[in-house]
Every structure is written in structure tokens, then in C-alpha cells.
Structure 1
Amino acid sequence: MAALRRVMDSRWLFHRGISRTSASRFFKTSSSCRTVMPAWVIDKYGGNDVLRFTKDARFPIINYPNEVIVKVCAAGLNPIDVSMRGGYGAATMSMKRDPLNLNQTENEFPLILGRDVSGVIMECGLDVKYFRERDEVWAAIPPWKRGSLAEFVVLSANEVSLKPKSLSHADAAAIPYVANTTWSALVNTGGLTKDNCAKKRVLILGGSGGVGTFAIQMLKAWGAHVTVTCSQNAERFVRGLGADHVVDYTAGPVEVPLAALDKFDLVLDNVGGSTERWALNLLKPWSGAKYVTLVTPFLQNTDTMGIADGMLKTAVIVASKALKHLAKGVHYRWGFFAPSGLALDEIREMVDAGQIHAVVEETFTFAQVPQAFAKVEKGHARGKTVVQIDKLDT
């Protein structure tokens, strides 16, 4: 743990090119003397034009003894940030922000987006034992919390993990959200672990996106055989991450070449749409094989039908599909993002062991947040889009 306390050590500061005076100013900022901070916010849902920079965003405070305040060094953007900017999930997120009042909207805006964060702990709640001030950490921020496109963010200590030593903050910010999403889908829902994954056959539908590229690396580190679908232009990219077999979805109906392959133990679907009609036929029947999709109608249902009716419809849909496919000998499951510092602890070890690498396509400055959103909105990325917030990271 001594190495983790080196932030104020003169040799460490020298090698980082940071003066002791600058470091002192960096860490002396506290909630007792700050009430506002710089941030990018939205005051209504819409396109890129709703993004607004302000120096007067409300400074986060610790409300619960298990929380920490993190000074943001870098933030990663995800497709969900673009969707949330347009209002996706608004009904459910408002409920999570104020579960006692389903009609509460006053805390909805101004809304700070950004699901990935890498930074430095500035302040700890009274019950936080595992972390200390100046620890370098990373985390995936739940969509119902204020995001990382700000100078500071408050998180539960259970959502936070020590940052991999081998990564800069900019690279570290590319991993947590897709890592927690992938871990939830493959481990919590799919039942895969590093101890049972060897020789398992896994198909990733949509292998060149954020979740797909992370899943390839994690599964290969655990010894699985990985097949992915992607465009021909991305084939070299995903093979470089470890994919064993690649099927080009631009060459024709992708289900045809996939049906000619050996059956799979698990299918991870990042595409959705019509894939459910044929993807479950690619699984080994009566073997415990699972189809896990990350493309679900849950938030869309609650947005359009309200919380109660939307959740009821969602429950009926997933139950009917699960029973239908169970009769055919395969398991149908929905995967969801789940924040977990413990999962990030495991992933940190894999990163520092060289088994998982950050895949960053482009880095923007804090002043270029609208451009970063425009980049994510275009789609077809070959890695993550990252925003550099604080210049301490060099």
C-alpha cells in the first residue's frame, strides 16, 4: 500500500512533472470551501445543441458515509450518453433519483452525462475504509447518478476500484462502463468464470464495439474460443484483440455462415433486432447453453408506458421468451449494466497482467465535449472516445 501513497512523494511528483505547490492546490480543494464547479450539462433533452458548459454546476457532497468524492482526470463516453442526452430512460432514471416520488422531476436537470471516470479521491465518507485521499481510482457511474463530465463526482465506495497502475487516466477511462456491462452479462447472467471458461465456444454478435472488444479480451484471457461478427473492415482489428473466428456481416445474411459452425455454449448479442429469430438456434441444446442479449426494451417500455405498466409489460415479455426457449433446451436471458468495484478489482489485475488493453480511438479536451458526442453519435467506432478533464494526468 505504500506505493499508493506516493502522490505527495517528491520523487513521484518530479517524474510526473508536477510541482509540490501544484499538487497541494490539487488536493486541498474540499467541499467545505467549494460550492460550484465546471461541468457540461443539459437542461432539456435533445441533440448536441442542448449541451451547455457552465462554471456554476453544483459541487457534489457526501450524503452517505460510504461515499467518496473523486476529482475527475478523464471521462469516457458511451452510446448510452448519446441516448440519455435525447431522453432515453428518463422515466426510470427519475424514479431511481427519487424512489419515493414517481412524479419528481426537479432533480432531473441540469443533468451531467458521462458514465466512465478515472481520477483521484479527494474526500472519503466516515465508513470508507478501503480507500484514502489521493488514491488513483476508476469507476463506472450508474446512469441515475450525476456523470463524469465535470470536475468532481461523488460515488459509492462499492462502485470504485483502484486504477490499474499500468494505465494513464485517459486509457483507464475507456474501460469501466463496458467492463462492468460485460462482466454483468457474461459472469452474473451467463455464468462464465475464469475457472469454467476454458474451451467454451462463445459467439459475440457485434464484436467491434466497446462491449465486444472488451469481451473478446476477457474471454480469451480465460481460455474460451471466441467467434465474432463484424464488418470486413474491422476483421483485422478484432483478430488483433484475440478473436479466433470472424464472420463478415456485410457479405450476406450472417446466420448462414454461423449455422455451418459448431454450436456455441453462449451467445452475447450486442446487435438485437432480428437476431433473436435465429441466434438461439446456434446454441448447444440441453447443455445449459445461454443466449444473453444487451438490447432489451425495458427502458423504452417505461419511457413510453410509464413505470408500472412498462415494468409489467417487460416482465411478461422476458418470462414468455424464457419459457419458450427453455422448452427447446436453451436459456434466454437479458443482460444489464451493473456497477461493481469488486469486478473492476478483478479486471484491474487482468489489465496490469497485460491480458486486457484499453482501446481508445480518440481523445478530446474538456472544451471539446460536443465534438466528442458527435464522434460517438456517428457509430462504427474502433474503440472508446475519451475526454481529458484535468491536466494532472500526463
Structure 2
Amino acid sequence: MSTVRHFMNKRCVFHLSKVKTTLLWMDKQRRLFSTTKASNTVMSAWVIDRYGSNDVLRYTRNASFPDYRYPLTGIIKVVAAGLNPIDISMRGGYGVSSMSMQRDPLNINQRGSEFPLILGRDFSGIIMECPLSNPDFKVGDEVWAAVSPYKQGSLAEFVMMAMVELSPKPKSISHAEAASIPFVGCTAWRALVETGGLNEFNSANKRILIIGGSGGVGTFAIQLMKAWGAHVTVTCSQNAERFLRDLGADHVVDYTAGPVEEPLRDLEKFDLILDNIGGDTERWALGLLKPWKGAKYITLISPFFENTDQLGIPDGMLQNFATVFYKVVKHLANGVHYRWGFFQSDRIALDIIGDMVDAGEIRPVVDETFSFSQVPQAFEKLEKGHARGKTVVQVSED
């Protein structure tokens, strides 16, 4: 009996010691992850309190400071932020059902809880807080990344990001230039590499058509494909031709000169088409692909968010499944692969892209830079369309 009692006492001591060690570790982590926040409870930001046009944008000095509860996240001071067409769409309420589901899966019908909402996806900035145990970064490091659409965005003094989503900012460019790349870079990477199956080893002499080449994704995709040796054809307006040729485009087709499909039909067929325009494009574009040779049509204009916004989550998801099944099977019967491309935060992609930027293979394309006080004007500029690259907001001094 004494042996059993002795054994049980040892077990109790062992478990108490283990609990004490765990509590000490948790307290240490809490202190490591909360070194400088004490003086910060609010920050400056541009927010919206309802969906609508440009007049819903509101500047505030009292936006909630990033909620720093998670041990593998960091707080980054935003130096520059990039705007994208999705910011215009989200300002108007696009994707609200799907975003609400991602923000809180248990309360998918509780709309409005996202307000005040901060827009902006790209950013480049400086780490202000991060886990001291993190092996890749430290306070003061310059980083870039893109914020997922369901999270609070980058038009603010600070953003909170998981450390695994951050990538070192390229050393050869400014923060404003760096802020023009992450969202479009990750979107193009997802479409061309993850979905399209292209890489630096298999892209040589592939024929690529980029429909809508003068926007952010288009200008990035041109440079990526040329760096990997592909032959790139783009569509754009006549006054953008020289601009896109300077980025490396081999052949430019002016869509303002008449039906753009007619001159494209006279060209050799393509291995991959990246469609940034949507609409009526796929009616004629799929006929430009090489049939039965693994050719892919990848569109960035999907009906998925629109379906869930109009039909709700259950019916919208069902409609999405029916759309995917119908289009994939229909076009596969004609020998081509129909796919959708989506943004996905990708630290590995940004690491590679950053190296390519520093090597001079990809350069940032900034159409215009606005100050932080000019965010409404930046949205107006973006909304007019026909940009030559990205619209960037300088949030703080470089």
C-alpha cells in the first residue's frame, strides 16, 4: 500500500510541476507578445460604417487597435497601402455573405458586425511587435504582404498579420512601390502557377494571352511570364501599347480598334489565357486555345460571391457547384480546361517574387500615389478605370 501511495504522490507532484511549468510558459509568452502595446488602444484609419459609394469613407483617429491575442501574429506599422478593384467592390457590399461566414462561421447571418470596416489589401511596412521566439523576423524588419478580404485592411496605421503570411520587403524598392505588388502578385501567382501549372522550368515558349493587360494583375503577369521565357500576347487600349511592350509583351492587340477577337483568331493558338475582364469574353476566348493539349482558360471574374450575396450561403453554394460542374464539363468536352483564379495569401510566392524584384526581373508599376488624407481621391482614381498599374496610398513616412 505504501508503494502505491508513494507512486501516486510522485504522479501528483509530477503533474503539479507540469501545470506550473505550463503556466509559467504561458505567462512568459504573454509578456513577450505584449511589449509595446500598452500605450496604444486606438489608431488612425479610413473606415466605412455602411456599404455604398465613395461618400461612405470616413477618416477616424479612434479606430480599434489590432486585437493582439494570438501568439503567432505580429503588428506592423503600415508605411504604404495599395488599392485594388476589390476595394471598390467591397465598399459597395460585394461578398458580404461569404465574408461574414469567414469572419464568424457561427453567425453567418449577423451582418453589420464587421463595421467599422477598414478596406485596403496590400501593404508594406515595419514590424512593431512580434513573438521574440519567431525565427524569421524581429521588431524593425521591413515586410510586405496582402491582407485577406475578410480581415480588417491596410488603410490604417497598423495591421495585424500572422507571421507566416509576412515576407521580407524587397530591398531595391521603396515602401510605396512594394505596396503595389502583394495582392496582384499573389492573385497572378495563384492563377498562373497554382491553377495554370506554369513555373520557371516549363514556361519557355508557352503562348500566353492576357486579356486586360494594363491593370495591376495584367502588368504583373506579363513580367512574370516573360521572366520565365513565355511568349506573351495582351489586349489593351491603343495608348497603353508602348507601356505594355516596355514591360515585355511580345504582341499587343488594341481592343478599341474593333472586335478584339478578330485579330486574335489570326494568331497561333494559345496554351493559356488569363482573363481579367470577364463578361462576354469567354464566348469567343475559349476558341483561341489549343484543344486537347492541356490548354487552360483561367478567369479572375467569378460568380461565386455574387451568388452567395443574392441567394444566401446555402443556395449560393449550390449554385456555385452547379456553375463549376457545368462549365468545367462543357469545355473539357471541347478539349480545354476552364478554371477560376482567386487571391490567396502566399508567403512563399512573395519570397520568390521579392527575389525577382531585387534581381530586376519584375518591377513595380505604380500609376499614382496619394497621401493618407487623399484616400477618397485615390478611390475616385481607381473607380475611373484605365489605370496603368496600381494606385497606392502613402500612409506614413518611409
Q: Scaled by the length of structure 1, what TM-score is found?
A: 0.91
Amino acid corresponding to residue 271 of structure 1 in structure 2:
I
1:153-198 C-alpha deviation (Å, 9 max, x unpaired): 0011222100000010011001100000000000011110111101
The yes-or-no answer on 1:96 pairing with 2:87 is: no
State the partner residue of 2:241.
235
Cα gap change, 1:304/1:126 in structure 2, threshold over 3 Å: closer, same or farther?
A: farther
The yes-or-no answer on 1:367 pairing with 2:373 is: yes
Q: 1:55 aligns with which of 48, 56, 61?
A: 61
1:192-230 C-alpha deviation (Å, 9 max, x unpaired): 011110110000000111100000000000000000000
Q: 1:306 aligns with which of 298, 302, 312?
A: 312
SS of 1:273's equivalent in the other structure is coil
State the partner residue of 1:266.
272
State the partner residue of 1:65.
71
* Residues 158 and 342 in structure 1, CA contact (< 8 A), matched pair in contact too: no
Amino acid corresponding to residue 242 of structure 2 in structure 1:
R
State the partner residue of 2:51.
45
State the partner residue of 2:81.
75
The yes-or-no answer on 1:85 pairing with 2:107 is: no
Alignment of 1:137-286 (within 5 A): 137-286=143-292
1:303-342 C-alpha deviation (Å, 9 max, x unpaired): 1111111111011101111011111111000110111111
Offset, 1:129: 2.7
The yes-or-no answer on 1:31 pairing with 2:12 is: no
Query: What is the rounded CA distance, in whole Å, between the counterparts of 1:307 and 1:182 in structure 2?
Result: 27
Question: In the comparison of the two structures, how many residue pairs are matched?
Answer: 365
Query: What is the rounded CA distance, in whole Å, between the counterparts of 1:211 and 1:265 in structure 2?
Result: 19
Larger Rg: 2
Amino acid corresponding to residue 157 of structure 1 in structure 2:
M
Offset, 1:56: 0.4
Alignment of 1:283-362 (within 5 A): 283-362=289-368
SS of 2:106's equivalent in the other structure is coil
- Give 5+ residue unaligned stretches, structure 2: 1-33
1:117-159 C-alpha deviation (Å, 9 max, x unpaired): 0000111146633211111000011100100110000011222
* Residues 298 and 340 in structure 2, CA contact (< 8 A), matched pair in contact too: yes
Amino acid corresponding to residue 141 of structure 1 in structure 2:
V
State the partner residue of 1:25.
none
* Residues 31 and 61 in structure 1, CA contact (< 8 A), matched pair in contact too: no
* Residues 67 and 128 in structure 1, CA contact (< 8 A), matched pair in contact too: no
Amino acid corresponding to residue 254 of structure 1 in structure 2:
V
Cα gap change, 1:208/1:29 in structure 2, threshold over 3 Å: closer, same or farther?
A: farther
State the partner residue of 1:3.
none
The yes-or-no answer on 1:124 pairing with 2:124 is: no
* Residues 62 and 125 in structure 1, CA contact (< 8 A), matched pair in contact too: no
* Residues 205 and 268 in structure 1, CA contact (< 8 A), matched pair in contact too: yes
Offset, 1:361: 1.2
State the partner residue of 2:394.
388
Offset, 1:61: 2.5
Query: What is the rounded CA distance, in whole Å, between the counterparts of 1:45 and 1:31 in structure 2?
Result: 31
SS of 1:61's equivalent in the other structure is coil
Offset, 1:96: 0.8
State the partner residue of 2:116.
110
Segment drifting more, 31-40 vs 144-153 = 31-40
Amino acid corresponding to residue 61 of structure 1 in structure 2:
D
1:42-99 C-alpha deviation (Å, 9 max, x unpaired): 0000111111111000000323222111000000111111111111111111111111
SS of 2:89's equivalent in the other structure is helix
Cα gap change, 1:299/1:70 in structure 2, threshold over 3 Å: closer, same or farther?
A: same
* Residues 144 and 166 in structure 2, CA contact (< 8 A), matched pair in contact too: yes
SS of 1:32's equivalent in the other structure is helix
Q: Scaled by the length of structure 2, what TM-score is found?
A: 0.90
Offset, 1:29: 8.8
State the partner residue of 1:136.
142
SS of 1:177's equivalent in the other structure is helix
* Residues 64 and 125 in structure 1, CA contact (< 8 A), matched pair in contact too: no
Amino acid corresponding to residue 374 of structure 1 in structure 2:
E
* Residues 289 and 336 in structure 2, CA contact (< 8 A), matched pair in contact too: yes
Cα gap change, 1:100/1:126 in structure 2, threshold over 3 Å: closer, same or farther?
A: farther
Query: What is the rounded CA distance, in whole Å, between the counterparts of 1:127 and 1:63 in structure 2?
Result: 16
1:244-293 C-alpha deviation (Å, 9 max, x unpaired): 00111111111111111111000000010111111111111111110000
Query: What is the rounded CA distance, in whole Å, between the counterparts of 1:184 and 1:125 in structure 2?
Result: 29
Segment drifting more, 93-102 vs 343-352 = 93-102
